[in-house]
Amino acid sequence: MISFRRAGDGENVLLLHGLFGMGANLKSISRALSSYFSVYSVDLPDHGDSSWLSKRDLCIYAERLIAWLDENNLHICHLIGHSLGGKIAMQMALIDPARFCSLIIVDIAPVSYPNSHQNVFDAMQELSETKCISRRGANKILEEHLDEVELIQFLSMSLRSNEEGIYSWILNYEGLRRDYPLLCLAPDSKGTQYHGPSLFVRGQRSSFISKNNELSVRKLFPKSEISTVAGAGHWVHFDEPDRFNAIVLKFLFEISDMM
């Protein structure tokens, strides 16, 4: 089961959030788009209120989401993904290019990345084993492992208390930790390219789309352009929402005029 929220009317836009997140993380761009488009904000498998899978990699996630599009008769849509959601979006466009009329990738490139979330998984495991009965106690455990206030707040959105008042993760952190190395890999192109219009948006303070990555971007997405948002880090849509929303809307309006 894929949990999602729909807003607005018009051409279909699918929003994919990043690792440890949920569809609500992209509510700013969803609000901006919903005045002109039908916006579908999904919780990725193993995240939010969506079902957990027995195994996971970029292709498995991409194929599950394409199947969900079929189930909901969404045969043509624009595709927007941030971070892990961006990798999955790239994989979807490479698997089924005719379905997607445009692609917007936020601060991620089609390359392999090193393991950079070990401390997050450690914090999640300790919190799960401690069986906290207060959100303050849960946040205290996270603070022992993580020093970014924004990251702690972001992760806390995936905590829920059960009938006994014990806080636990609604995301499948154990499955994500086990298969995390597969999620760090580059999308599998199988020799294909996506020839539709593509926009890669990167944060000026982020290193996820470096100059060295640009060749990889254009190799798989030959009609791509790269836009840099001044002052933004990896969470471009959160750091500079107005600038980000304006860039996305301008791109989509131009694509819609061409259709």
Task: Examine the pLDDT at 116 and tell me if it is beyond 80.
Answer: yes
Rounded to whole angstroms, how far apart are CA atoms 29 and 245?
Answer: 6
Q: Where in the chain is the domain with CATH 3.40.50.1820?
A: 4-113+184-258
pLDDT at 162: 86
How is residue 107 written in tokens?
């601060």
pLDDT at 257: 61
Q: How confident is the model at residue 211 (pLDDT cuts 50, 70, 90)?
A: confident
pLDDT at 74: 96
Residue bearing the bigger pLDDT, 258 or 206: 206
As its CATH architecture, domain 4-113+184-258 has 3-Layer(aba) Sandwich (3.40)
How is residue 40 written in tokens?
């579908």
pLDDT at 100: 97
Rounded to whole angstroms, how far apart are CA atoms 54 and 48?
Answer: 16
Mean pLDDT of 218-224: 96
Rounded to whole angstroms, how far apart are CA atoms 59 and 3?
Answer: 19
How is residue 50 written in tokens?
């969506």
Is-contact 111 212, C-beta < 8 A? no
Mean pLDDT of 55-64: 97
How is residue 204 written in tokens?
């000026």
Mean pLDDT of all residues belonging to the chain: 94
Task: Examine the pLDDT at 259 and tell me if it is beyond 60.
Answer: no
Task: Examine the pLDDT at 80 and tell me if it is beyond 70.
Answer: yes
pLDDT in tens, 140-152: 999 988 988 889 9
Which residues, including other chains, have CB under 8 Å from residue 3's CB and lie 6 or more apart?
A: 23, 42, 43, 48, 49, 50
Q: How many residues does the chain have?
A: 259
Task: Examine the pLDDT at 258 and tell me if it is beyond 60.
Answer: no
| DSSP secondary structure letter of residue 37 | S
pLDDT at 217: 96
State the pTM of this model. 0.95
Which residues on adjacent β-strands are paired with residue 104? 80, 199
| DSSP secondary structure letter of residue 131 | T
pLDDT in tens, 174-184: 999 999 999 99
Among 117-126, 130-139, 205-214, 235-244, whose mean pLDDT is lowest?
A: 130-139
